[in-house]
Amino acid sequence: MKQTEGIGIMENTQAKDTRKTRSLLGMRGADTNAQRPLWQIRLQLMKPVTWIPLMWGVLCGTASAGMFNWAGYFQWNGTYVLAGVACMVLSGPLLAGYTQTLNDYYDRELDAINEPYRPIPSGAIAIAQVVAQILGLLGLGLALAVGLDLWAAAEFGARHTPWVLTGLTLFGAFLAYIYSAPPLKLKQNGWLGNYALGASYIALPWCAGHALFGSLSPTIVVLTLFYSFSGLGIAIVNDFKSIEGDRKLGLRSLPVIFGVDRAAWICVLMIDVFQIGVLGYLLYLQSWVYAAVLAALIVPQIVFQRRFLADPVANDVRYQASSQPFLVFGMLVTGLALGWGSL
């Protein structure tokens, strides 16, 4: 009997630890206890789990700028590493944190239905404190972008496009605002909102990493915007968990518009077709090895999609966990291919 009780206590403790971790990362299944330190609540608002793709995007942009080919490799020093890390902080904790906090602020009624454990609907943080966090993260992001532009101009001279990182930061902040805030509130439109989200997670950080160490060419901008349609597909996956609340509040997400099954097919087709399009571009560049690696990374995603299509609502999280690593490694492979080519 005592052994059974001990196992039960251990399981409860593990469950509590899991909920606390989910709270800090901003994931579903978070701890609903509002009696937490304010820093934990602020961190939950910023959803650290969403920072990783943007920081990875900066790495992909660094690769496409040629910093991992033979010539770029020998340029690395401590200052370059710090600049790269600073660009990741800009894209992840600061701008993604700003975006997520802003989104929670304008989604507080929706979250009260779909995710009542979130800090604002649960009453864990005051609205004034949320607004201060939004402005603080935006201000820090702009200051860091200006600093990186000044560093790159001094380091690379005419090779660096003047104030490009500051411009990307301002554009990203504006895009985040119109995505979440009325009257535009792009997220109310399943196509525009999800593409804006996909571009924010792929094109913007990629362009930032490339612009920091190289000249941002129209080719890179167009290619990353094209790649962002795969990000649109990933964004649709996140909509399946919110169908009930979206319907009640009149938000036209793709699962609401087309139904669960059709939206799931749109999702996987967007993910696959545009990655295959990028694969075709690498073949056009005659980057045979990188094209082969990218193709090998696309195949497992298609395999995992079978279970997702069978029940998108039940398998959305599992699909993301199993499939997305292959997508993001494919992005890095593409960046390396471009960095070793003529771009």
Q: What are phi and psi of 156, to 5 degrees?
A: -110, -10
pTM equals 0.88
Give tens-digit pLDDT for 103-122: 999 999 888 887 888 899 99
Residue with tokens 């525009």: 192
pLDDT computed for residue 251 by the predictor: 77
pLDDT computed for residue 233 by the predictor: 94
Q: All domains of the chain, ordered by start, with CATH?
A: 39-216 (1.10.357), 217-342 (1.20.120)
pLDDT computed for residue 342 by the predictor: 43
pLDDT computed for residue 231 by the predictor: 94
pLDDT computed for residue 113 by the predictor: 81
pLDDT computed for residue 264 by the predictor: 96
Residues 6+ apart with CB under 8 A from 277: 226
Q: What are phi and psi of 251, to 5 degrees?
A: -80, 130
* Nearest to 28, CA basis, from 238, 297, 295: 238
What residues of the chain score a pLDDT lower than 70? 1-34, 342-343
| R_g of the chain computed on alpha carbons | 21
What are the DSSP calls for 33-90, one per residue?
Answer: ---S-HHHHHHHHH-GGGHHHHHHHHHHHHHHTTTTSHHHHTT--HHHHHHHHHHHHI
SS3 state at 252? strand
Residues facing residue 189 across a β-bridge: 252
Average pLDDT, the chain: 90
Give tens-digit pLDDT for 132-158: 999 999 999 999 999 999 999 999 999
